[in-house]
Structure 1
Amino acid sequence: MTQYAFFFNQKRCLGCKTCVIACKEWNESKRGDANLNRALTEATAGTFDTPASWGAGARADTLNGAHSKDILRRFDAKENWRRVTFFEFGTKAPNIAIVPLSIGCNHCSEPACIPVCPVKAISKEAKYGAVRVDSSKCISCGACRAACPWDAPQYYKDLQAEGPRPPMTKCDLCYDRLEKGLKPACVASCPGRALELLPVEEILKLHPNATRTALGFKQEDVNRTKPNIYFESRELFF
């Protein structure tokens, strides 16, 4: 098995969440709630239109037609396959720091999600070492979400809502893009070039000082699941 891993340079991350939006955009059709509970309708999405009184570009015209709401719906995806969180350090200026951390699924070498799935919907494939889910088998029991220390399995927010519950979805390493020789959407979109995805051997060769943890990353769970993510960790100078 060739194991691919993410490399996240915490020193270069801008905290802009471009990776989050790029992930939502690319994986719009794969999200679990894609056909359920669509909060943005033609009517509700219309509130995002530019007021006609603002002039140029405000009205639908004969050249461009009516404003499309589909692009707006993409950013209303309930699941967050990639997440950027912020951690605050220090209590008094100037010794204060706000440090970002960008993670998705870490495609662990010993995933906590696989053994707890009662219907064997989650597996680890051999070509890239990606942990993938067969949503057609998923029964939305939530066992994988409870087991994963990295919050990778994603469900529509309200699992208690009436009606059908969506299946679990998660980062699949942008498998479809890798098969075409492309980088994952999050990596390709990062303006600070803080993210990379490479085979583990190449990461260690290019970044010999890479660490297995960073500020905000839960070290106590690293040994348990062996996540495939490496870091250039931010340092605190106070």
Structure 2
Amino acid sequence: MQYAFHFNVERCAQCFACEVACKSAHNSRPRVQEEPGTCGPRFRQVVELKSEDSATPVQYVSMACMHCGDAACMAVCPARAIYRDPQFGAVLVDHSKCLGCRYCSWACEFGAPQFDRDGLMTKCDMCIDRLRKGFAPACVESCCGGAITIGPVETARNAVREHAAKRIATASRLL
């Protein structure tokens, strides 16, 4: 089964709790001060989207690894250190095999794999230990607006379809 995150921008309170919860759950600390302005690996990050004609943010989107069905990071890893969890479909990194070559970060369109202080690649692991124990990932649990959910890919696809259908039905009634 393939699980996926689903993000509903309309429910996002722009509180950044998901980002903080993720860092806390993974004991991510800021990088050493040689790199001013960095904050270490960010498995989940809230990104500001702006219109071209304004410096004011239009909306915020919480982004993390997409745990792609056909993961480019997994395909290019020469050490086969990136693999898929059979139970939830999460794309994970086996640090005992990672060479730190960064091929995965170059191949990923979303910038999910990141180089860490230990010289190895790291990325969102969908809080796999929490999932295996029956708990939601830290970002999902901390989201006060319920904007981030997780579940089977088909469930997320159906939710998006239902939401679009409701918007179309509402718009057609207004016309």
Q: Report the TM-score when normalising by structure 2.
A: 0.81
CA RMSD between the two structures: 2.5
How many residue pairs match? The answer is 160
Does residue 122 of structure 2 align to residue 123 of structure 1? no
| Residue equivalent to 1:10 | 9
In 2, Cα distance between equivalents of 1:21 and 1:173: 15
- The amino acid that maps onto 2:102 is G
- Equivalent position to 1:84, from 43, 46, 69: 46
Structure 1 unpaired stretches of 5+: 40-75, 158-164, 212-238
Give the drift of 1:3: 0.8
In the other structure, the counterpart of 2:60 is 100
Q: d(CA) in 2 for partners of 1:181 and 1:4? A: 14
Residue 79 of structure 1 aligns to a residue in which SS? coil
Provide the C-alpha distance between the structure 1 equivalents of 2:148 and 2:73, rounded to a whole number of angstroms.
24
1:82 aligned partner, one-letter code: R
Runs of 4+ residues over 6 Å off in structure 1: none
Aligned partners of 1:83, 1:187: CA distance in 2, in Å?
Answer: 13
Superposition deviation, residue 156 in structure 1: 3.1
Q: Deviations over 1:38-69 (max 9, x none)?
A: 55xxxxxxxxxxxxxxxxxxxxxxxxxxxxxx
User: 1:26·1:185 contact (CA, 8 Å) conserved in 2?
Assistant: yes
1:165-216 per-residue CA deviation (whole Å, 9 max, x = no partner) reads 52111111110000111000000001111000011232244443367xxxxx
Change (3 A) 1:174 1:210: farther
Larger Rg: 1
Number of the residue aligned with 1:147:
107
Match of 1:85, SS state, is strand
Task: Name structure 2 gaps, 5 residues minimum.
Answer: 165-175
After the TM superposition, which residues 55-204 of structure 1 pair with which residues of structure 2 at under 5 Å, given as runs? Answer: 78-89=40-51, 91=53, 98-156=58-116, 165-204=118-157
Q: Which amino acid aligns with 2:132?
A: E
Separation in structure 2 between the aligned mates of residue 117 and residue 77 of structure 1, nearest angstrom: 26
Q: Which residue identity lines up with residue 128 of structure 2 in the other structure? A: Y
| Bigger proportion of residues as helix | 2
Contact map agreement 1:78 1:156 (CA 8 A) in 2: yes
Alpha-carbon offset, residue 82 of structure 1: 0.6
**What is the CA distance between 1:7 and its match in structure 2?**
0.8
Flag the 1:179–1:77 CA change in 2: closer, same or farther, 3 A: farther
Higher relative contact order (CA 8 A, sep 6+): 1
Supply the distance in 2 between the matched residues of 1:202 and 1:10 (Cα, whole angstroms).
17
Aligned to 2:162: 209
**Matching residue's letter, 1:115:** A
- Percent sequence identity is 40
Kindly indicate whether the alpha-carbon contact (under 8 Å) linking 1:19 and 1:82 is maintained by their aligned counterparts in 2: yes
Shift of residue 15, structure 1, vs aligned partner: 2.2
Q: Please report how far the alpha carbon of residue 137 of structure 1 lies from its aligned counterpart in structure 2 after TM superposition.
A: 1.1
Who is 2:167 aligned against?
none
